[in-house]
Amino acid sequence: MLQNNEVILKHPIIEHKLSILRDKKTGTKEFREVIGELSMLLCYEALSDAQLEELEIETPIARMKGKRLNENNFVFLPILRAGTGMIDGVLKIVPNAKIGHIGMYRDEETFKPHSYYYKVPKGIEDKEVIVLDPMLATGGSIIDTIGKLKEQNAKKIKVLCIISAPEGLKAVHNKYPEVKIYCTAVDEKLNENAYIVPGLGDAGDRIFGTK
């Protein structure tokens, strides 16, 4: 069942790219490239409501009024380590955005996230923060990240992920229904180890070639 906070991108090219990611035979280089491509498409969609500023420009033919994005108003916040694999893609859309980092690891027994690093740009309360994490499984890391941002009075928060589990989407929606989550697929379920099924395996290991 879809949650009100979900935006799922549907397109033949996205389906094609997802199949490449899911295939266990896909190598590290291609996996990284496709993560970046899908991240770029997710960012494009997430900024569909972005506010533009008017400015006057001159084309080779005439003067005119154009519009531009104030890129300083945006912060990308990857959840370490897998979220860093999405940075190159989103920076192709907003190259001058600020970048923060939050480090989390998952307890393999309880599946609960533990935070070990957090650093965001100054003035976060006045910026739009876009959290990056390829996999939304239980939702614990996303919920904790949103909580830390709200402690610093961040008001506009969005989440980009490649694949989500229905359990995680529901958990985030129940805690923070105002935060929109953009993804390219909602999979079947979580297994007994809290991995997404069918998923694509461990995104961090596949991005960095550590397994």
User: 5 with 136: CB under 8 angstroms?
Assistant: no
Report which residue type is found at 23: D
Q: Which letter does DSSP use for residue 201 in this model?
A: S
Read off the pLDDT band of 111 (50, 70, 90).
low
Task: Report the predicted TM-score, pTM, of the whole model to 2 decimal places.
Answer: 0.92
pLDDT value at 209 more than 70: yes
205 noted as active-site residue: yes
Catalytic member of 110, 126, 138, 144: 110
Question: 167-188 burial, b for 16+ CB within 10 Å, e for fewer?
Answer: bbbebbbeebeebbbbbbbbbe
CA–CA separation, 156 and 130 (whole Å): 9
Report which residue type is found at 11: H
pLDDT at 32 (0 to 100): 96
Residue 195 CB neighbours (<10 A): 17
Could you report the per-residue pLDDT of 152-165, keeping only the tens digit for each? 999 999 999 999 99
* Closest to 159 measured CA to CA, from 1, 4, 5: 5
Catalytic member of 22, 26, 84, 202: 202
Could you report the per-residue pLDDT of 113-159, keeping only the tens digit for each? 778 899 999 999 999 999 999 999 999 999 999 999 999 999 999 99
Could you report the per-residue pLDDT of 28-48, keeping only the tens digit for each? 999 999 999 999 999 999 999
Residues belonging to the chain: 211
110 noted as active-site residue: yes
User: 138 with 166: CB under 8 angstroms?
Assistant: no
- My answer on whether omega of the bond before 113 falls inside 30° of 0, hence cis, is no
Question: What are the beta bridge partners of residue 64?
Answer: 57
3-class DSSP assignment, residue 10: coil
User: 149 with 124: CB under 8 angstroms?
Assistant: yes
Please report the domains of the chain, with CATH numbers, ordered by start residue.
6-46+72-208 (3.40.50.2020)
202 noted as active-site residue: yes
